[in-house]
C-alpha cells in the first residue's frame, strides 16, 4: 500500500510556464495550428453524423420511404470514413513539429549546460541533468504534438457539441450542462494535486538516474569493496519511491477518470428520462431525441479524454519548470564586452593579489585563495607545493577560467584573462589533471582533442603532432591496441589502466601546443620506470613552454625551475628547490612528507635527487607547526 506524499505548494501560472516553450516552437506553430484545424474538421464530421441520423429518423423512417435509407446510410459511412482519414492526417501533421521541437530543446539544454561554469556542475547531480534533457523533454514533445492539439480541438468540440444540443432542446441541454458542472470542481482539485505529484515524481526519477550513473562509473569501486548489494539497496529504495509516486499519480488520475466517466453518464440518464417525457408531449421529435443522444455519445470521447490530456499538460508543465531551472541559471563566466583575441604571445603568467572563494562560502570564513602574488616567466616551469587542502588544484583552475577569481587578476602576456575571449584563452592554456578523463572516441581523436585548428586529423601535420605527443607521454602502448591509434577506447577510457589514461591525457595537453601548460600531478598512476622516462621527455617540452605544475612528489618538483610553497591559500615562499630547502623549514617539512608518501608504495625507487633532498632535510630539521 502506498503512502500519501506531502505535496509542495501549488505553483501558479500553468499556461505561463507552458508558454516558455514557444521560442523553440515558433517555426512549427503554423503546422501545429494546421493539426488543430484538421482535428476540428474530424470532429465536425463526427458531429455531422447525428444530424444525418435525425434527418433519417424524422424523414424516411417516419414516412416509410425506404428508398432514401440506403443513401442516408451511405452518407453516415462516408462521414465516418472522412473522420478516420482526418484523424490520420492530424497525427501525420503534428508528428514532425513535435520531434523538431524536441531536438531544438535538447540542443538548447546541452549547449547551455556546456556553457555553464564548473561551479554549476559541482552543485548539480548529473542524473538530474540527464533526466531533464531526456525524460522532461520527451514529456514536452508529447504534449506539443499530441496533448496541446487534442486539448484545444476537444475543448472546442465539446463547446460546439453542447451548442448543437441547445438547438434541439434548451431544456435537455441545460440539464446535461448542469449535471456536468461537478466535473469542473473535480478537475480543479485534480490540477492542484496532480501538479505537485508530477513535479515530485520527476525529481525522484532524476535521483534514480543519478544512482544508475554513479553505479556505472563507480562499478570497479563497488565490486572491489563488495558494496554492490548496498548500492542495489539504495537504488531499490529510490526506485520504490518512484514507483509509489507513480501509483499515487495513477490513483489520482483514475479518480478523476471515474468522475469524468460517471458524471456524463448520469447526465445522459437524467436527460433520457426528461427527453422521453418531452417526446411524449410533442415537445421533441423522435429524430431530435435520437440525434441528441447520438451527439452526447460523440461528446463522451472528448469529455473522457480531458483527464488524460490535463494530466499530460501538467506533466509537461512540471517538465518545463525543471528544464528552465537549468536554462535560467546565468552563466557567470562569459566573454567580456569588447573582448579581442590576442595574438600568440610568449606565455608569461602573472597572479596579482588573486583571491577566490566559492559562492556558497559562509560569511566570515577566509578565502580559499587568499591574496596570491606570483609571476611565471615565459618558458619557466613553476611547481606548486603544499599540504593537502592548501589550494593547489584551485590555483590551477583559475588561469583558464574554469573558475573566475573573486579578487585581483591573472595576466597572460600582460592581458587580464577576463578580457580575452574564452575560446582564445583556452587555446593558449592546456590542462592535464590527476583524474584523467577521456571520451568514447578513438585514441587519435582524444589526443588531438584540443587541435580544432587542424583541418584533417588524419593529415600529415596531425600525424606528426600525434606521434610527438604520444612519444613524450610514453604512450606507445596505443600501437599495440587492436586498431592502433584508431581504437575506440570506450566511455571515459575505463578499458585502460589508470597510468594509460594519465599518459593519454598528458599527450592531449602536449598536442594542444599551448603557451601555458598546467599539470595537476598527471603522473601519479605511473610506475617508477615509466615516470622517469616521461619526466625526461617532458623536460624538453617544458624548456620552451610556460608551465604551472602541482607537485605531490619530489621527482615532480625536480622538473621545475622554481617552486612556490602554498599554505592556507597564500604563497609563503618562492625560490628554487635548493634555495627553499636551505631557507624554508616549512618547505622542508612539506618535501619530507611528500618523500615519505612517495617512497612508501615504491620502496625500490632509486632517484639520487630524492636521496640528496632527504639528507638536506635531516640536517635542517623539520617544522612541527606545518601539518603533514
Res. 623: pLDDT tops 50: no
Residue 287 pLDDT greater than 90, yes or no: no
- Residue 109: band (very low, low, confident or very high) from pLDDT cuts 50, 70, 90: very high
Instruction: Write the CB contacts of 35 (distance below 8 Å, at least 6 apart in sequence).
Output: 90, 93, 94, 97, 145, 149
Nearest residue to 509 via CA among 499, 519, 500, 501: 519
Under the banding of pLDDT at 50, 70 and 90, the label for residue 613 is very low
What are the Cα distances from residue 270, in Å, to 46, 171, 244, 257, 275?
A: 24, 12, 39, 20, 8
In the predicted model, is pLDDT for residue 627 greater than 80? no
At 499-543, the pLDDT tens digits run 888 889 999 999 998 999 998 877 777 777 777 788 888 888 888
CA–chain centroid gap for 398, Å, is 25
Query: Would you say residue 4 has pLDDT above 70?
Result: no
Q: What is the pLDDT of residue 407?
A: 94
Q: Could you tell me where the DSSP H helices lie in 473-607?
A: 498-511, 528-542, 554-557, 577-583, 585-599
Report the alpha-carbon distance of residue 248 to residue 133 in Å, rounded: 25
pLDDT category, 606, cuts 50, 70, 90? very low
Q: Which residue has the higher pLDDT, 137 or 196?
A: 137
Instruction: Please compute the mean of the pLDDT values over residues 205-209 and round it to a whole number.
Output: 86
Q: Is 412 helix (H, G, I), strand (E, B) or coil?
A: strand
For position 595, what pLDDT does the model report?
67
Complete DSSP assignment for 113-167: HHHS-HHHHHHS-HHHHHHIIIIIHHHHHHIIIIIHHHHHHHHHHHHHHHHHHHH
Identify the DSSP state of 486.
Answer: G
Q: Taking residues 42-69, what's their average pLDDT?
A: 78
Alpha helices in 328-411 (DSSP H): 392-397
> What is the tens place of the pLDDT at every residue in 231-275?
888 889 888 998 998 898 888 888 887 887 788 888 888 888 888
Report pLDDT digits (tens) over 551-566: 888 878 888 899 999 9
- Domain 16-327: CATH class, spelled out: mainly alpha
Rounded alpha-carbon distances, angstroms, from residue 173 to 30, 69, 165, 184, 291? 35, 28, 5, 17, 12
pLDDT for position 447: 93
How far apart CA 615 and CA 257 sit, in angstroms, is: 83
Q: What is the mean pLDDT of the chain?
A: 83
Which own/partner contact pairs does 276-282 have at CB distance under 8 Å and 24+ positions apart?
278/169, 278/171, 278/172
Dihedral angle over CA of 455, 457, 460, 466, nearest 10: 130
428-444 pLDDT per residue, tens: 999 988 788 888 899 99
Query: What pLDDT score was predicted for residue 289?
Result: 84
* Spatial contact of 136 and 323, defined as CB atoms under 8 Å apart: yes
Question: How many residues does this entry show for the chain?
Answer: 628
In the chain, DSSP finds a helix count (H) and a strand count (E) of: 24, 10
Please state whether beta strands 562-567 and 516-520 pair in parallel, antiparallel, or not at all (unpaired): unpaired
Provide the pLDDT for residue 599. Answer: 54
Q: pLDDT higher for 6 or 48?
A: 48
Q: Where in the chain is the domain with CATH 1.20.1560.10?
A: 16-327
Q: In the predicted model, is pLDDT for residue 604 greater than 60?
A: no
Q: What percent of the chain has pLDDT over 90?
A: 29
pLDDT of residue 324: 93
Mean pLDDT, rounded, for 142-152:
88
- Residues 6+ positions from 426 with CB-CB distance below 8 Å: 400, 401
Position 62 confidence tier, pLDDT thresholds 50, 70, 90: low
CATH class of 349-358+365-620: alpha beta
Dihedral of alpha carbons 489, 492, 495, 500, sign? positive
Higher pLDDT, 192 or 563: 563
Determine the pLDDT at residue 292.
Answer: 86
| Angstrom distance (rounded) from CA 567 to CA 385 | 9
pLDDT tens string 310-366: 888 988 998 899 999 999 999 989 988 877 776 777 889 999 999 999 888 888 888
Q: How far apart are CA 210 and CA 131, in angstroms?
A: 9
Where does the chain hold its CATH 3.40.50.300 domain(s)?
A: 349-358+365-620
- The CA distance from 420 to 411, in Å, is 10
Give the pLDDT confidence score for residue 37 in this predicted structure. 93
Which pLDDT does position 61 carry in this prediction? 64
SS3 382: strand
- Measured distance CA(497)–CA(525) in Å, rounded: 9
Amino acid at each position: 500500500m502506498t503512502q500519501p506524499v506531502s505535496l509542495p505548494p501549488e505553483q501558479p501560472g500553468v499556461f505561463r510556464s507552458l508558454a516558455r516553450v514557444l521560442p523553440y516552437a515558433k517555426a512549427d506553430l503554423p503546422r501545429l495550428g494546421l493539426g488543430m484545424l484538421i482535428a476540428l474538421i474530424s470532429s465536425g464530421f463526427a458531429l455531422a453524423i447525428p444530424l444525418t441520423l435525425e434527418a433519417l429518423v424524422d424523414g424516411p423512417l417516419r414516412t416509410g420511404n425506404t428508398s432514401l435509407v440506403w443513401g442516408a446510410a451511405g452518407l453516415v459511412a462516408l462521414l465516418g470514413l472522412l473522420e478516420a482519414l482526418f484523424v490520420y492526417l492530424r497525427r501525420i501533421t503534428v508528428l514532425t513539429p513535435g520531434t523538431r521541437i524536441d531536438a531544438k530543446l535538447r540542443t538548447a539544454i546541452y549547449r547551455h549546460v556546456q556553457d555553464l561554469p564548473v561551479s554549476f556542475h559541482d552543485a548539480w547531480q548529473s542524473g538530474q541533468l540527464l533526466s531533464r534533457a531526456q525524460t522532461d523533454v520527451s514529456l514536452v514533445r508529447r504534449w506539443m504534438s499530441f496533448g496541446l492539439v487534442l486539448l484545444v480541438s476537444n475543448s472546442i468540440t465539446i463547446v460546439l457539441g453542447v451548442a448543437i444540443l441547445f438547438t434541439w432542446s434548451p431544456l435537455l441541454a441545460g440539464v446535461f450542462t448542469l449535471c456536468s458542472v461537478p466535473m469542473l470542481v473535480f478537475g480543479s482539485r485534480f490540477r492542484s494535486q496532480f501538479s505537485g505529484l508530477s513535479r515530485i515524481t520527476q525529481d525522484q526519477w532524476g535521483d534514480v538516474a543519478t544512482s544508475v550513473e554513479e553505479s556505472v562509473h563507480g562499478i570497479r569501486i563497488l565490486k572491489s569493496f563488495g558494496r554492490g548489494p548496498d548500492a542495489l539497496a539504495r537504488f531499490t529504495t529510490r526506485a520504490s519511491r518512484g514507483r509509489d509516486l507513480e501509483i499515487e499519480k495513477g490513483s489520482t488520475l483514475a479518480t478523476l477518470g471515474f468522475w469524468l466517466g460517471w458524471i456524463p453518464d448520469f447526465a445522459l440518464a437524467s436527460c433520457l428520462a426528461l427527453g422521453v417525457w418531452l417526446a411524449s408531449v410533442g415537445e421533441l421529435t423522435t429524430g431530435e431525441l435520437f440525434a441528441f443522444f447520438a451527439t452526447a455519445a460523440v461528446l463522451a470521447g472528448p469529455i473522457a479524454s480531458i483527464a488524460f490530456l490535463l494530466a499530460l499538460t501538467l506533466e509537461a508543465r512540471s517538465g518545463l519548470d525543471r528544464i528552465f531551472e537549468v536554462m535560467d541559471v546565468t552563466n557567470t563566466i562569459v566573454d567580456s564586452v569588447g573582448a579581442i583575441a590576442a595574438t600568440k604571445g610568449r606565455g608569461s603568467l602573472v597572479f596579482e593579489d588573486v583571491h577566490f572563494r566559492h559562492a556558497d562560502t559562509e560569511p566570515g570564513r577566509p578565502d580559499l585563495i587568499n591574496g596570491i602574488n606570483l609571476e611565471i616567466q615565459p618558458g619557466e616551469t613553476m611547481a606548486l607545493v603544499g599540504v593537502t587542502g592548501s589550494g593547489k588544484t584551485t590555483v590551477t583552475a583559475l588561469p583558464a577560467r574554469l573558475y573566475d577569481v573573486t579578487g585581483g587578476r591573472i595576466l597572460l602576456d600582460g592581458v587580464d584573462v577576463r578580457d580575452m575571449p574564452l575560446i582564445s584563452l583556452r587555446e593558449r592554456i592546456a590542462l592535464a589533471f590527476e583524474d584523467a578523463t577521456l571520451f568514447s572516441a578513438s585514441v587519435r581523436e582524444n589526443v588531438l582533442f584540443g587541435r580544432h585548428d587542424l583541418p584533417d586529423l588524419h593529415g600529415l601535420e596531425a600525424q606528426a603532432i600525434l606521434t610527438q605527443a604520444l612519444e613524450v607521454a610514453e604512450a606507445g602502448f596505443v600501437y599495440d591496441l587492436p586498431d592502433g591509434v584508431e581504437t575506440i577506447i570506450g566511455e571515459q577510457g575505463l578499458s585502460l589502466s589508470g597510468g594509460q589514461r594519465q599518459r593519454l591525457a598528458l599527450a592531449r595537453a602536449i598536442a594542444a601546443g599551448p603557451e601555458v601548460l598546467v599539470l595537476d600531478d598527471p603522473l601519479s598512476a605511473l610506475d617508477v620506470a615509466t615516470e622517469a622516462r616521461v619526466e625526461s621527455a617532458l623536460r624538453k617540452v617544458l624548456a620552451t613552454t610556460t608551465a604551472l605544475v602541482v607537485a605531490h612528489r619530489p621527482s615532480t618538483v625536480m622538473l621545475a625551475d622554481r617552486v612556490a610553497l602554498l599554505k592556507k591559500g597564500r604563497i609563503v615562499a618562492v625560490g628554487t628547490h635548493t634555495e627553499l630547502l636551505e631557507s624554508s623549514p616549512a618547505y622542508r617539512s612539506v618535501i619530507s612528507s611528500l618523500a615519505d608518501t612517495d617512497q612508501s608504495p615504491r620502496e625500490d625507487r632509486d632517484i639520487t635527487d630524492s636521496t640528496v633532498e632527504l639528507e638536506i632535510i635531516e640536517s635542517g630539521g623539520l617544522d612541527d607547526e606545518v601539518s603533514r
